[in-house]
Chains A and B, each alone.
Chain A
């Protein structure tokens, strides 16, 4: 049976939407993280700045309104999205990585564009991140529970590991 062209336009559009549903179900939501001040030939090297985080949905970008500390935390969790980490592990990881120690050093000598993330603050930051995600999902008309994107995974003992679920891409800009 041959389909009429008029109906095929709709059927093709339905195909696209089904592909979107399938992608959302399997991979989760997609985020784009912007790194500024990068040196040519290097990606995600020390000295760059995490300038912004965007949710990408329906081919559009929705900015997550995050403070500097939250941007750093989001970037860190996105890089380690395969591994749930406790607050102590996150603090240790951010301290250990040169990228966060020298954050935005390519642009500024001072620490004005850098933050340390103490262990005791992380629970609060996670709650704020979820709140921002909720607002952005609403703006993008995406009905996803932020708790399922920024997950709290309880360990056997009294420890909670935080994990970001989704797909991430890093875009580098020179300035």
Chain B
């Protein structure tokens, strides 16, 4: 899947976007959306963009643009949407964490693990131990 930098080119529409999700300095928060379903990713990105976030979509951190993996700590939020088995997402989450711990940047994004399937409590605990917040898409 091709990466899309979802910054609205239309300035009027950009102005109409709510500024609720900006810090006091006016900086917009950067969000990385990892989702293998392009339609779902674009719909979700649209809503997030409307709330003032700068959204970057990628299907996976491996296939993403060159250097994306290295830049993961520079994002404020990482949303990982797992449409298959939640166990598969766990491996990706580990890689994301690894990318952050090896980074020389002294920061780490907050992770949101979105699963479309029910997740057993043990797995959920493992996800939370990796520092991600878990949410099930209903």
Chain A residues packing against B (C-beta within 8 Å): 3-11, 13-18, 20-22, 25-26, 58, 141, 143, 145
Contacts of B114 in A (CB 8 A): 10, 13
A21 to B108, CA, bound (A): 11
Known A-B contacts A22-B23, A145-B106; A10 and B79 likewise in contact (beta carbons under 8 Å): yes
The total of Cβ contacts below 8 Å across the A-B interface reads 65
Contacts of B21 in A (CB 8 A): 15, 18
- Partner of B138 from the list A3, A5, A22, A25 (CB cut-off 8 Å) is A5
Chain B residues packing against A (C-beta within 8 Å): 21, 23-24, 29, 31, 43-44, 47-48, 51, 53, 76-77, 79, 81, 100, 106-108, 110, 112, 114, 131, 133, 135-138
Closest to B128 in A: A58
Tell whether, in the assembled complex, residue A26 and residue B137 are in contact, meaning their CB atoms are under 8 Å apart: no
A173 to B23, CA, bound (A): 37
CB distance from A142 to the nearest CB of B (A): 9
A116 to B81, CA, bound (A): 54
Tell whether, in the assembled complex, residue B47 and residue A17 are in contact, meaning their CB atoms are under 8 Å apart: no
Tell whether, in the assembled complex, residue B138 and residue A9 are in contact, meaning their CB atoms are under 8 Å apart: yes
A21 to B53, CA, bound (A): 13
A14 to B79, CA, bound (A): 8
A7 to B29, CA, bound (A): 19
Known A-B contacts A14-B48, A26-B24; A21 and B135 likewise in contact (beta carbons under 8 Å): no
